[in-house]
Structure 1
Amino acid sequence: MAKTIDQVDAQASAEAILEKYDRESNYRRNLGLWTWVVTFIAVALTVFHLYTSYFGTLQTQIQGAVHLGTALGLIFLLYPIKSGLHRKQTGVPWYDVLLAFTSVFVCYYNVFQYEELLKRTVFGYTSLDIIVASLGVLLVLEATRRCVGMPIVIVAALALAYALWGSGIPLFSHRGFSWSILSSDLYFKTDGIFGVPIRVSSTFIFLFLFFGVMLTKTGIGKYFNDLAFALTGRFTGGPAKAAVAASALQGMISGSSIANTVGSGSFTIPMMKKAGYKPEFAAAAEASASTGGQLMPPVMGAAAFIMAEYTGIPYSEIMIYALIPAILYFTGVFLGVHFESKKQGIFGLPADQLPKMKELLIKQGYLLLPLIMIIYTLLSGRTPMRAALIGIAVAFLVSFFSKETRFNLAGVIDALEQGARAALPVIAACASAGIIVGVVVLTGLGAKVAGGIITLADNVLILTLFYTMIACIILGMGLPTTANYIVTATIAAPALISMDVPVMAVHLFVFYFGIVADITPPVCLAAYAGAGIAKANPFKTGINATRLAIAAFIIPYMFVYNPALVLVDYTPSSLVLALISAFVGMVGISSAVMGFLIRRARLWERISLFIAGLCLIDPHFILDIIGYGTIAIMFFIQSRRPVDVEASNSVGQSYGM
């Protein structure tokens, strides 16, 4: 019974942390009579997407209007006006019901007036059109504030203010726009709210989020944890390495670094603390790995689908191009965990405490079938929409392999409802990101920012990369993955594209630095969520997460200077050399940051190792010689030094390498 109470307490604690750091979790629990209305609308929304994915999508504007209008209605029914009210209120207040129905009306206005609105783009909009557009913009921002949070709303509001009053701003001035022109352009044309983000959200993203829900219903989350511990648990730093591996696996299907941190961290963080890691490090390991999950194909936090639209590169190819950088990221986190574990003398877990790999693969290997099928379908050239549909169908069939996960009618309805609920924050974020994109297109802000960055950097690539990195981290603070990428790709990417950096390298560069904002102080929400579980200092956790994820700050520079890492202009030999340089460079930088190579590193050794790692970023013969040579010398010097007393005394017991 005590175990059950502990599990309940842990779950309650995880929910409280999610509500604190993840705005998506602040929804009403007690809807009263509105429960059936919400269930019906949510199920209908999911069925709509399943139907259109199989029989063909509607006109872009109509598909997007149904998608967004229904989602906004659900958001106002589910999310209260103020955080914290969701546990106090019973039912839905009248004003939220009014906002829900108004949202449906203004979005479905695009459906019923579709033909007329096409004509009005030429002949001018009516007063009713302007009122509808104004309400649409404001309702999108309010819905986003409720279920995503203020950061993206602030950016969108600043974008609107810039469009209205930015004509007098030095360097970034434009001709100025009235509210009627601005609101109608953002709401009725395809460069604003119903632009690329909502178009992709209403086709690919929704289905992949539903696919993630279906996988969760089959119990794949626990399976990933068991698989990770079976793979890495016996080695040095086994609990922390298992947490990294589990988060990488779960991140492939998760759309949120915060949710991933809390979901897997509720299990992995206490285990890491028990093994002897400090709370700040345990929380940081989980947060850095969970954040990296957004970089891991095939889903990549759903941003990969929008990347395909922006770049014109098929999604199946983006998935391949992004694989090596993602593997390098997790390699970097593994190295950080390994060096810290060696320094602290924390080793592996005994075999009798670990799941058996053979049993996992034989008895539960079928749980991997949905992922295998979706990747196979994508690589065979089918559309992402069809791949998601096949993955959903296979996940449904796989659920019948076990009595615990088998779907009945109630289970199917619940899965359909949860699919819609999971998509609501993403839909709202994409709509608000559409406002930002619309303003950038309307005012030409992207080109102005690009010009400003290049001028500031004096056309020097390394400085342009650095300033773009800073811009992406600032723009990415507090934004969910999809909105994060949309904003950084729209505002920051043009600077690098204008300097002839390969398109794939540019978009992955801004994507990476937008994502690592989740673990970069001061606004490192994933690290704060992990700190809540570990009962650790949030800021120290952010610092530790940044140290562990130092690879995420280095790898983007590597694949810009050496595009072979993203499979651009490469040969097999150049790719092998690039991988070796990247790995050795990360060993140097990670050991310098963690303060341990094969012995505790002295200050001058850490500085030498860090410089050596940086030398391996740019593929240049002299720099490579310096980098490889310095790291080899550090290995030799430390190998001649006596074993550290601290590292020789294990915190736990040694059960592995």
Structure 2
Amino acid sequence: MFRAFFKEGNRRELKGIVRNLILTISIILCIFEIWLGSVGSMDLYQYTTVFYPLILTAAFLQFTATKRIKGNQPTWPDIILAAISLSIGVYFLINIDLYLTRIPLFNPLTPLELAVGIATVLLTLEATRRTLGFTLTSVVLVILAYVFWGQHIPGAYSHRPIDFNHFLDDMVFTVNGIFGTPLGVAATYVFLFVLFGAFFTAAGGGDFFFRLAATISGRSVGGPAKITVITSGMFGMISGSPTADVLTTGSINIPTMKKMGYSPVFAGGVESAASTGGSILPPIMGSAAFLMAEYAGISYGAIVIAATVPAILYYLGIFLQVHFRSIKEDMPTLKEEEIPKVSDVFKEGWIYLVPLVFLVVGIMNGMTASLAAVLATAIVIVCSWLKPVYRIGYKKLILIFEEVIERMVPVTMACAAAGMLIDGIMLTGLASKFGTLIFSLTAGSLFLTLVATAVLCIVFGMGMPVSSAYILTAVLAAPLLINMNIPAMNAHLFIVYYSCLSAITPPVAVAAFAASSIAQADPIKIGLNACKLALVAFILPFIFVYDPGILLQGDLWDITSSIVLSVMGVIAIAAAVEGWYKAKLNKLEQVVLFAGGLLLIVPGMLSDVTGLIITVTIISLNRIKAKKILNQPILEKKPEDVDIREA
């Protein structure tokens, strides 16, 4: 039983009265969020104290305490915890005017406020453990231990004593802690984009994505794997959760790839890598991008523009590796009858482009992300009315609301835990101390500091949601990077990238573990394969720190040259990793071509020219080799050495 405590609980399939309660909470929250995102106006503390207790209530009703507990009905302890959570919401609703005008720390907390504060902290810890596991919870507990006993640590990492009243006041009754910016982002942007994604899928947008992907890639070699890359990226862009995307699209894509002859490990790796990239794919991206907009003070539209080219390069790398692997292993295409006509796809599904285009245009023209999401959702509903099969009526509407709350519970708990982490770090001054430590260990080297930051993101991302890994690293490392004259956009986007990549980085690669349950393969091998497929993504963040051209920063020549050279570099790296271009590459050719591709991406005239010469030479020799093999008598040819389709 004690060991079970260190794992998250199971999600229940609720029925009866309890499910009706969840449906009621779902309807109230969704209506509240739509109002808040469109015409409503509230202070951060006010709307988070409405939003969070309702989500907290749902968490205790929907999740068991441990995996050992079976059944679809909450136990009495669950009901009591849910009732306390709801009572906290009622307390804040009644007393909100007091806390909006109150001066924090001026007066000691009353016994009732102490009770509310303690309950809020303990409930947050327990709900985080139930929904996300012990990893994130343990990090929060370590920070809290440092808050209370850090003054006893000798040396530079000691801090002034912080009494319990001070801690609780700051953590619960201000916007510095649980009810701070991360929770505010969950209660606005993230919620409304999850709502949009749920409506878009229910209205038939998911089917449109699959058909469009089949049309684009179905006839080319390795079509099923390429369809996986496209559909998983599109779904991941909307969901913002690598794990959720793997479980949604992977349930179709992975068995299809296995059936076509791909190994389970490769199929799981493609799905994991493609799903993970959705969190950095404009125009929607994931919760980390919304947190970045709030925390770094950068407009969401600017983030979307800057992230566009790196995201394209990310998916180009995966797509090309899949392409070269498919040719090398002589993978089949889809059957002609399985591929819809382009005209039919757009004739039947063009309407699904309308809300997406509106979303992009609205955000780019200064509309708030929340309002754009609300209006785009309204457009989706109207679009569904034109499709009798997918028409959204009031019954389907309620089910969608329920699905949104189910998706939001883990995200919200991650953001609430992130708020606790931020407050603990700020109260103790740990951020500046940590920055000093990193600076001393890296001897002031920018490259080594970036490596340390990347490792930090991956470590924090082990078992944590992307949003938690981002916010924790951003608090600790972003100020240090900015002090080293890295623009805020580049520094924070660097952290966002590596926070996302933590989802496929072993030993705790949450997206790979999700894929392993479908592929029936070793999750570590799937994670390593996904990292191989997403290799370009591990290089790109370093590049856009040194060469902001791929973030569309600088003059036209710098931007154009950076993009062209980066595309060539990605092609070279993908071919080198897979050992194939037009014909088989030997080990030496692979190493040299990889070096050439890397030099093309690395900024600098000397590296660009050297990389260009190396890449063009190896690729030209490979083309000549392929032609020679094709011109050989048929009996002398080795099928594994050449792309037979080039004949």
Q: Scaled by the length of structure 1, what TM-score is found?
A: 0.91
Q: Does 1:436 align with 2:418?
A: no
- Please say if residues 272 and 512 of structure 2, whose CA atoms lie closer than 8 Å, have aligned partners that are also in contact: yes
SS of alignment partner, residue 92 of structure 1: coil
Q: Does 1:55 align with 2:39?
A: yes
Q: Who is 2:3 aligned against? A: none
Q: Who is 1:99 aligned against? A: 81
- Please say if residues 476 and 488 of structure 1, whose CA atoms lie closer than 8 Å, have aligned partners that are also in contact: no
Q: Quick one: distance in 1 between partners of 2:8 and 2:621?
A: 50
Q: Does 1:110 align with 2:92?
A: yes
Q: Who is 1:126 aligned against? A: 110
Could you tell me which of 409, 412, 417 is aligned with 1:424? Answer: 409
SS of alignment partner, residue 27 of structure 1: coil
Q: Does 1:465 align with 2:455?
A: no
Q: What letter corresponds to residue 572 of structure 1 in structure 2?
A: L
Q: What letter corresponds to residue 638 of structure 2 in structure 1?
A: V
- C-alpha offsets along residues 557-577 of structure 1, whole Å, 9 cap, x if unaligned? 111111121122x12221110
Q: Who is 1:536 aligned against? A: 521
SS of alignment partner, residue 113 of structure 1: helix
- 1:477: how far off? 1.5
Q: What letter corresponds to residue 52 of structure 1 in structure 2?
A: L
- 1:513: how far off? 0.6
Q: Quick one: distance in 2 between partners of 1:583 and 1:318?
A: 21
Q: What letter corresponds to residue 555 of structure 1 in structure 2?
A: L
Q: What letter corresponds to residue 75 of structure 2 in structure 1?
A: P
Q: Quick one: distance in 1 between partners of 2:191 and 2:581?
A: 45
| 1:516-531 alignment, distance < 5 Å | 516-531=501-516
Q: Who is 2:353 aligned against? A: 368
Q: What letter corresponds to residue 110 of structure 1 in structure 2?
A: F
| 1:478-493 alignment, distance < 5 Å | 478-493=463-478
- 1:390: how far off? 0.3
Q: Identity of counterpart residues, as a percentage?
A: 35
| 1:506-517 alignment, distance < 5 Å | 506-517=491-502
Q: Does 1:631 align with 2:615?
A: yes
Q: Who is 1:319 aligned against? A: 304
Distance 1:501-1:120 versus aligned 2 partners, 3 A rule: closer
Q: Quick one: distance in 2 between partners of 1:616 and 1:456?
A: 30
Distance 1:445-1:646 versus aligned 2 partners, 3 A rule: farther
Q: Quick one: distance in 2 between partners of 1:513 and 1:559?
A: 13
Structure 1 residue ranges, 4+ long, deviating more than 4 angstroms after superposition: none
Q: Does 1:495 align with 2:462?
A: no
Q: Which has the higher contact order (CA 8 A, sep 6+)?
A: 1
Q: What letter corresponds to residue 407 of structure 2 in structure 1?
A: A
Q: Who is 2:633 aligned against? A: none
Distance 1:550-1:171 versus aligned 2 partners, 3 A rule: farther
- Please say if residues 225 and 322 of structure 2, whose CA atoms lie closer than 8 Å, have aligned partners that are also in contact: yes
SS of alignment partner, residue 105 of structure 2: helix
| 1:265-414 alignment, distance < 5 Å | 265-414=250-399
Q: Who is 1:559 aligned against? A: 544
What are structure 1's unaligned runs of at least 5 residues? Answer: 1-21
Q: Does 1:145 align with 2:138?
A: no
Q: Does 1:68 align with 2:44?
A: no
- 1:646: how far off? 4.4
Q: Who is 1:11 aligned against? A: none
- 1:171: how far off? 4.2
- Please say if residues 488 and 511 of structure 1, whose CA atoms lie closer than 8 Å, have aligned partners that are also in contact: no
- 1:32: how far off? 3.2
Which stretch of structure 1 is more off in the superposition, 223-232 or 602-611?
602-611
Q: Quick one: distance in 2 between partners of 1:595 and 1:172?
A: 49
Which stretch of structure 1 is more off in the superposition, 170-179 or 427-436?
170-179
Distance 1:627-1:482 versus aligned 2 partners, 3 A rule: same
Q: Does 1:449 align with 2:434?
A: yes
SS of alignment partner, residue 172 of structure 1: coil
Q: Quick one: distance in 1 between partners of 2:498 and 2:395?
A: 42
- Please say if residues 287 and 527 of structure 1, whose CA atoms lie closer than 8 Å, have aligned partners that are also in contact: yes
Q: Who is 1:645 aligned against? A: 638
SS of alignment partner, residue 253 of structure 1: helix
Distance 1:533-1:456 versus aligned 2 partners, 3 A rule: same
Which stretch of structure 1 is more off in the superposition, 451-460 or 63-72?
451-460
- 1:92: how far off? 2.0
- Please say if residues 30 and 89 of structure 1, whose CA atoms lie closer than 8 Å, have aligned partners that are also in contact: no
| 1:33-52 alignment, distance < 5 Å | 33-52=17-36
SS of alignment partner, residue 123 of structure 1: coil
Q: What letter corresponds to residue 452 of structure 1 in structure 2?
A: L
SS of alignment partner, residue 519 of structure 1: coil
Q: Who is 1:219 aligned against? A: 204
Q: Quick one: distance in 1 between partners of 2:139 and 2:346?
A: 47
SS of alignment partner, residue 252 of structure 1: helix
Give the RMSD, CA atoms, in angstroms: 2.1
| 1:150-229 alignment, distance < 5 Å | 150-167=134-151, 168=153, 170-229=155-214
- 1:362: how far off? 0.9
Distance 1:172-1:344 versus aligned 2 partners, 3 A rule: farther
- 1:23: how far off? 6.0
Q: Who is 2:634 aligned against? A: none
Q: Who is 2:459 aligned against? A: 474
SS of alignment partner, residue 599 of structure 1: coil
Q: What letter corresponds to residue 274 of structure 2 in structure 1?
A: A
- C-alpha offsets along residues 259-296 of structure 1, whole Å, 9 cap, x if unaligned? 11121112111222232221111110111000101111
Q: Who is 1:3 aligned against? A: none
Could you tell me which of 541, 547, 564 is aligned with 1:580? Answer: 564
- C-alpha offsets along residues 195-229 of structure 1, whole Å, 9 cap, x if unaligned? 11111222222111111111111121121111111
Q: What letter corresponds to residue 451 of structure 1 in structure 2?
A: T
- 1:531: how far off? 2.3
Could you tell me which of 589, 605, 625 is aligned with 2:573? Answer: 589
- Please say if residues 504 and 527 of structure 2, whose CA atoms lie closer than 8 Å, have aligned partners that are also in contact: yes
- Please say if residues 269 and 534 of structure 1, whose CA atoms lie closer than 8 Å, have aligned partners that are also in contact: yes
Q: Scaled by the length of structure 2, what TM-score is found?
A: 0.93
Q: What letter corresponds to residue 627 of structure 1 in structure 2?
A: G
Distance 1:357-1:530 versus aligned 2 partners, 3 A rule: same
Q: Quick one: distance in 1 between partners of 2:277 and 2:303?
A: 17
- Please say if residues 247 and 293 of structure 1, whose CA atoms lie closer than 8 Å, have aligned partners that are also in contact: yes
- Please say if residues 472 and 492 of structure 1, whose CA atoms lie closer than 8 Å, have aligned partners that are also in contact: no
- 1:648: how far off? 5.7
Q: What letter corresponds to residue 342 of structure 1 in structure 2?
A: I
- Please say if residues 477 and 514 of structure 1, whose CA atoms lie closer than 8 Å, have aligned partners that are also in contact: no
- 1:115: how far off? 4.0
Q: Quick one: distance in 1 between partners of 2:141 and 2:171?
A: 13
- C-alpha offsets along residues 525-579 of structure 1, whole Å, 9 cap, x if unaligned? 21122222122222211111110000110111111111121122x1222111001
Could you tell me which of 32, 56, 66 is aligned with 2:16? Answer: 32
- C-alpha offsets along residues 460-493 of structure 1, whole Å, 9 cap, x if unaligned? 1111111111111111112223223222222232
Distance 1:110-1:170 versus aligned 2 partners, 3 A rule: farther
SS of alignment partner, residue 121 of structure 1: coil
Which stretch of structure 1 is more off in the superposition, 518-527 or 47-56?
47-56
SS of alignment partner, residue 124 of structure 1: coil
Q: Quick one: distance in 2 between partners of 1:169 and 1:53?
A: 48
Q: Who is 1:9 aligned against? A: none
- 1:243: how far off? 0.7
Distance 1:169-1:294 versus aligned 2 partners, 3 A rule: farther
- C-alpha offsets along residues 232-260 of structure 1, whole Å, 9 cap, x if unaligned? 12123222111101111111211311111
- 1:649: how far off? 8.1
Q: Quick one: distance in 2 between partners of 1:433 and 1:165?
A: 20
Q: What letter corresponds to residue 551 of structure 2 in structure 1?
A: V
Which stretch of structure 1 is more off in the superposition, 280-289 or 167-176?
167-176
Q: Quick one: distance in 2 between partners of 1:589 and 1:169?
A: 49
- Please say if residues 244 and 289 of structure 1, whose CA atoms lie closer than 8 Å, have aligned partners that are also in contact: yes
